[in-house]
Chains A and B, each alone.
Chain A
Amino acid sequence: MINLAGRDILHSWGKFVLTGLGLGLLIGVTLTLAGVYRGMVDDAKVLLNNSGADLWVVQKDTQGPYAESSSIHDDVYRGILGLPGVARAANVTYLIMQVRKGNTDVRSMVVGFEPGQPGEPAYLVAGRRITRGHYEAVADVMTGFVVGDRIRIRRHDYTVVGLTRRMVSSGGDPMVFIPLKDAQEAQFLKDNDAIVNERARTAANPALNRPGVPGLLDAINASQTSNRSVNAVLVRVASGSAPETVAQEIRRWKHLEAFTRAQMADILIAKLIATAAKQISMFLVILAVVSAAIVAFIIYTMTIGKIREIAVLKLIGTRNRTIASMILQQALGLGLIGFAVGKIAATVWGPAFPKYVLLETADAARGFVIVMVVCVLASTLAIRAALKVDPATAIGG
């Protein structure tokens, strides 16, 4: 028995392939959008994983340091280290700013970390780790910096000594890691004009610049230009202790807020990126529906375009089952080509996106099933139309 579907495809294979390619690009766009959504969620997750912490200790009644601003004193970690079940605790600061290099600047999240402690980049792709206590930086490759670059963060120039990868903020901004003390200063210390201005204001205040109390003004100025705050303390729990138990201890006795990894993930994914993610997922649903409709229409019109040939087949006594299977096979073939082209296209153009696009295998499998189901559904419409055709149309009746 001859394969009617194969014969028909071969008869107009160029048209078939082009239709498949077009369909593929549409599926590719849908897959990419799914990847954009996944990438967004993944950005939030890598932020948690990269910090290497089990607990985030932040200012009381805040949901910092990512979702809200949080400020705690930098000696708080000593008290936390003394709690049972705490293996390591380290200060960390986060500051989103434009990092300057020459005449350009790059939006980045500047992270102040302590070497060898939680918060440090886990792995590098080039260069070395920081060996000096000041003015060295490790940057994410997404910033475009290379090892040896001099970048400027506020008042000081930093040398990029190492590069890392996939170290981004929840918003997808690449991270630049600098020593904690520098970061504290960068977060707080203003430009020279502002400092001079502030000093002048203090000097003009008669309560702070009293003639009978020499040294008072100097003391006030000195206290205004130092910063002893950090945004969070990252805690690594000793093996055998439950993070939640330690977190409760911290909340109860330290007048601070502590979040476990699950709670932090919830804050990041359910709160911080919720609206943006919903926006994308809404668009994704609409695009999926539109794609499905277009696939269905293409298959339907492809069948309708061959209605005269089908009438001839019926006229020569071909069974309905044979005709139906021909249409179904063609639809599935089109779906296969479309999915393959779509997957390839998405993989090829995915890395070119400015933010991370995560193409998950599970998403691809889900997409494959959906494409096939849509093809089957669309072909039933076409089959109905084909079976209803009057054989007489073949002879112009």
Chain B
Amino acid sequence: MKSRFTPPRQIWFAAFGIALVMALGWVAATSGPLAPIRVSVVQVARGEVSPALFGIGSVGAQRAYAIGPTVAGRVKRVLVDVGDTVKAGQLLAEMDPVDLDARVASADAAAARARSAVATAEAQVHDARSRQKLAASEARRYVGLGQEGFFSSSAVDGKLQQAESADAQIAAAESALASAREDAGRLDAERAGAKQQRLNVRLVAPTDGAVTSRDAEPGSTVVAGQAVIKMVDPASLWVTTRLDQGRSAGLRLGLPAQIVLRSNPRTTLAGKVVRIEPLSDSVTEERIVQVEFDRLPQGASIGEMAEVTLHLPAVSDVLLMPNAALRHRGGQTGVWLRANGRLRFVTVVAGEQGLDGNVRINEGLKGGDEVVVYSERDLEDDSRIEVVSALAGKAK
């Protein structure tokens, strides 16, 4: 009985055993410490790298004006509203003059009074002159008749004294006239000053531009220097861009820029760096540059966020590799070099990096070297590896 049934049973059982052992072998080989680390490698090749700087900024106006009174006061009327286009010299708003008109009137009256004072003084000079003329001719006559003995010398002296006094009266009257004229000049100046002050409550546009903000309404009180109207010169829009200090090497004036406004992310606008601020932000560790539009975009709003990419000149015919291959080990930066089927950590000196992730190798590798770019795990010197074409998540 046994001899008839044993062979197929043995075969089945042996088959099961072999399958089990093989499965166990597969498990041991693909997981656990014996399994190789899957990596993908890439060859270092010569090529062109176009380094670029990337920063974010906001649209601002180079020339912005805050227009307000020079003294505290109440707003009387505001003639323009946000969005209005204004011309240079156009009246934008007016402060309440309070007593300024009365002061102008008072100055007018004072000036008029001064003018009449001048006329009075002139008349007095005239009067003094005619008196002096009379006194002089009388004195002459008395002196002649006195020499002939008709008058006592005392009477002659009296007339001479009268003539001198008339001379002094002319001088006094002339001086009074000059004083009255000075007074009139002073009051005229005061009147002009009052008129200037009256004009100063009128807030006018210093240049052609657009109103961006209306900060006070008629009736509200503002302090000296507080803006009632803010306006910008729309032709002077630029992007104030902040670049990480650590990634700003090569920044210089005139670099071409690509500007993408948040409101229109599909359109790339051209521009260039027109100013590099000498002060960089020490708190955020960013450098600040101003990027001007080549052509002003329609409807760009001030304060809008923009992404700015500055393109540095491309460097061609240099050794390139993906930046994913760069590893840090201890304090060193390097790559895992695959040579003769073994892995070796080689320190490298990396240079410029393009936005596409290619990095220039200045030292440490030569063309055709195979370096590990992706790996499933951190690699060690004695790691066993299996080279595959891709590990995960292929790009769409």
Chain A residues within CB distance 8 Å of chain B? 7, 9-11, 13, 17, 49, 52, 75, 87-88, 114-116, 120, 122-129, 131-135, 141, 145-149, 161-163, 165-166, 181, 211-212, 214, 228, 236, 238-239, 337, 340-341, 343-344, 347, 350, 359, 361, 364
A135 partner residues in chain B, CB cutoff 8 A: 307
A134 partner residues in chain B, CB cutoff 8 A: 54-56, 307
Given the interface contacts A125-B374, A126-B390, A147-B395, does A131 sit within 8 Å of B227 by beta carbon? no
**Are B391 and A214 in touch, CB under 8 angstroms?**
no
B55 partner residues in chain A, CB cutoff 8 A: 133-134
**Are A341 and B20 in touch, CB under 8 angstroms?**
yes
Q: How many A-B residue pairs have CB under 8 A?
A: 140
**Are A75 and B32 in touch, CB under 8 angstroms?**
no
A361 partner residues in chain B, CB cutoff 8 A: 32-33
Which residue of chain B is the closest to A155 with respect to CB atoms? B305
CB distance from B76 to the nearest CB of A (A): 18
**Are A128 and B323 in touch, CB under 8 angstroms?**
yes
Tell me which of A126, A145, A347 contacts B374 (CB under 8 A).
A126
Given the interface contacts A13-B13, A228-B283, does A128 sit within 8 Å of B223 by beta carbon? no
B225 partner residues in chain A, CB cutoff 8 A: 214
The distance in angstroms between the C-alpha atoms of A238 and B12, with both chains bound, is 63
Which residue of chain A is the closest to B305 with respect to CB atoms? A156
B322 on interface, CB distance cutoff 8 Å: yes
Given the interface contacts A10-B13, A126-B391, A147-B393, does A337 sit within 8 Å of B20 by beta carbon? yes
Identify 30 residue pairs between A and B in the complex whose beta-carbon atoms are under 8 Å apart, listed by A's number. A11-B9, A13-B16, A120-B328, A122-B328, A123-B324, A123-B374, A124-B374, A125-B376, A125-B393, A127-B324, A127-B393, A127-B395, A129-B323, A129-B324, A129-B357, A131-B353, A131-B355, A133-B243, A134-B54, A135-B307, A146-B395, A146-B396, A165-B376, A165-B377, A181-B244, A214-B223, A340-B21, A340-B23, A341-B20, A344-B23
Which residue of chain B is the closest to A149 with respect to CB atoms? B396
Instruction: Give 6 A-B pairs besides A146-B394, A214-B227 with Cβ atoms closer than 8 angstroms.
Output: A10-B6, A127-B393, A129-B323, A131-B356, A147-B394, A340-B20
What band does the interface of chain B fall in when counting residues whose beta carbon is under 8 Å from A? 35 or more
Interface SS of B by simple majority? mixed
The distance in angstroms between the C-alpha atoms of A148 and B54, with both chains bound, is 18
B393 partner residues in chain A, CB cutoff 8 A: 125-127, 141, 145-147, 163
Which residue of chain B is the closest to A13 with respect to CB atoms? B13
The distance in angstroms between the C-alpha atoms of A52 and B355, with both chains bound, is 25
B391 partner residues in chain A, CB cutoff 8 A: 125-126, 165
Tell me which of A49, A87, A212 contacts B223 (CB under 8 A).
A212
B354 on interface, CB distance cutoff 8 Å: yes
Which residue of chain A is the closest to B30 with respect to CB atoms? A347
**Are B32 and A359 in touch, CB under 8 angstroms?**
yes
Q: Which of A125, A141, A145, A364 has the most B CB atoms < 10 Å from its CB?
A: A125
B328 partner residues in chain A, CB cutoff 8 A: 52, 116, 120, 122
B374 partner residues in chain A, CB cutoff 8 A: 123-126
The distance in angstroms between the C-alpha atoms of A341 and B393, with both chains bound, is 32
Interface SS of A by simple majority? loop
**Are A359 and B331 in touch, CB under 8 angstroms?**
no
A145 partner residues in chain B, CB cutoff 8 A: 393
**Are B326 and A129 in touch, CB under 8 angstroms?**
yes
B272 on interface, CB distance cutoff 8 Å: no
Q: Which of A115, A128, A149 has the most B CB atoms < 10 Å from its CB?
A: A128
Tell me which of A11, A128, A212, A343 contacts B357 (CB under 8 A).
A128
Q: Which residues between 217 and 237 of chain B lie within 8 Å of chain A, taking CB atoms? A: 221-223, 225-227
The distance in angstroms between the C-alpha atoms of A34 and B11, with both chains bound, is 35
Given the interface contacts A126-B390, A214-B223, A340-B24, does A147 sit within 8 Å of B354 by beta carbon? no
The distance in angstroms between the C-alpha atoms of A344 and B243, with both chains bound, is 54
Question: Shortest 3 CB-CB distances between A and B: which pairs?
Answer: A128-B357, A132-B54, A125-B391
Which residue of chain B is the closest to A14 with respect to CB atoms? B12
B382 on interface, CB distance cutoff 8 Å: no
Given the interface contacts A75-B283, A129-B357, does A214 sit within 8 Å of B395 by beta carbon? no
The distance in angstroms between the C-alpha atoms of A388 and B341, with both chains bound, is 64
Which residue of chain A is the closest to B10 with respect to CB atoms? A10
B31 on interface, CB distance cutoff 8 Å: yes
B378 on interface, CB distance cutoff 8 Å: yes
The distance in angstroms between the C-alpha atoms of A326 and B2, with both chains bound, is 19
B284 on interface, CB distance cutoff 8 Å: yes
The distance in angstroms between the C-alpha atoms of A131 and B326, with both chains bound, is 13
B247 on interface, CB distance cutoff 8 Å: yes
CB distance from B51 to the nearest CB of A (A): 9
**Are A343 and B27 in touch, CB under 8 angstroms?**
yes
